Structure 1
Amino acid sequence: MAINLDSLSPAELQALIKSAEAQMHSARKNHIQEVRTKIEGLLNSAGLTIDEVYPRRGGQGSKGPKAAVAPKYRNPESPAQTWSGRGKRPLWFSEALKKKGVTADSMLIGGAATKSAPAKKVAPKATKKAPAKKPAKKK
């Protein structure tokens, strides 16, 4: 069925496009249903399920509940407030860091960080230097 597109008006072309899109949508739905029926037939004849053939990751699928992360920091002024260290910093954490002597390490759960002695400076290894080049003699 050949259609001469040159002879159609813009309105007729628009109607043809809409009709073709509707036909394409219908044909795609039918094709998907045919493939689905074939797959289900193969699975049934083999005694398998789709989950056995294509297991989902994480056991609960991608939209399952996420495991809670253990808190890493505790508010020194209100121990009920904790933060896992992920995501945006809570206001209490940012405010505490502004105070003199308070560091992120000092708010760690499981013991505040102790001040350790400053690290010793280690001298760099001595390397053998190449002899300096002598300037070329002028003739």
Structure 2
Amino acid sequence: MTLNLEKMSRDELLALRADVDKALKSVETRRKAEARAAVEKAAKEFGFSIDDIYAKGAPKEKNPPKYRHPENPEKTWTGRGRKPGWVTEWLAAGKDIEDLAI
């Protein structure tokens, strides 16, 4: 089937473009499904599910706290990043940060 685009009206061309876009989406959806099935099959051959393969890694461990507030043990600081206000106040009072060490 050959189309003579030169003889088609603007409305016919727009309809054709819409049909082509729809067909392309359909092909893409079908190909993605085929790819997913192939990935699932390959993962299964190795004893994994697709979720096992694409699962995010173990959550990163937070840096453990190195310093603890002397009166409120729930307030801690890892020693990284900006100093919390309570640490700044402690140091401004002339006290040693090692007194807060855990």
Q: Shorter-chain TM-score: what band?
A: 0.5 to 0.7
- The match for 1:135 is none
1:106 aligns with 98
Alignment of 1:96-135 (within 5 A): 96-97=90-91, 99-102=92-95, 105-106=97-98, 108-110=100-102
Superposed counterparts of 1:64-83, under 5 Å: 64-83=58-77
Could you list the per-position Cα deviations for residues 47-72 of structure 1 after superposition, in whole angstroms to 9, with x for gaps in the alignment?
A: 43345xxx759xxx326544343211
Contact 1:75 1:92 in 2 (8 A): yes
Corresponding residue for residue 4 of structure 1: 5
TM superposition shift of 1:25? 1.6
Structure 1: stretches of 5+ with no match in the other structure: 111-139
Q: Is the 8 A contact 2:68 2:75 kept in 1?
A: yes
Could you say if the C-alpha distance between residues 81 and 42 of structure 1 is closer, same or farther in structure 2, counting changes exceeding 3 Å?
closer
Tell me how far 1:43 sits from its aligned partner: 6.0
Matching residue within 73, 76, 86 for 1:92 = 86
Give the structure 1 partner of residue 23 of structure 2: 23
- CA contact under 8 A between 2:43 and 2:53: conserved in structure 1? no
| Structure 1 position 48 matched with structure 2 position 46 | yes
Query: How many residues of Structure 1 are paired with residues of Structure 2 in the alignment?
Result: 99
d(CA) in 1 for partners of 2:99 and 2:23?
64
CA gap of 1:14–1:65, structure 2 versus 1, over 3 A, is: farther
Instruction: Give the Cα–Cα distance (whole angstroms) in 1 for the partners of residues 6 and 93 of structure 2.
Output: 78
The TM-score, its normalising length taken from structure 2, stands at 0.54
Name the structure with the higher helix share: 2
Quote the Cα distance in structure 2 between the aligned partners of 1:13 and 1:68: 59
- Structure number with greater Rg is 1
1:62 aligns with 2:49: no
Alignment check: 8 A CA contact 1:73 1:83 kept: yes
Question: Within 2, Cα distance between the matches of 1:86 and 1:3?
Answer: 69
Gaps of 5+ in 2: none
- Residue 12 of structure 1: CA displacement? 5.4
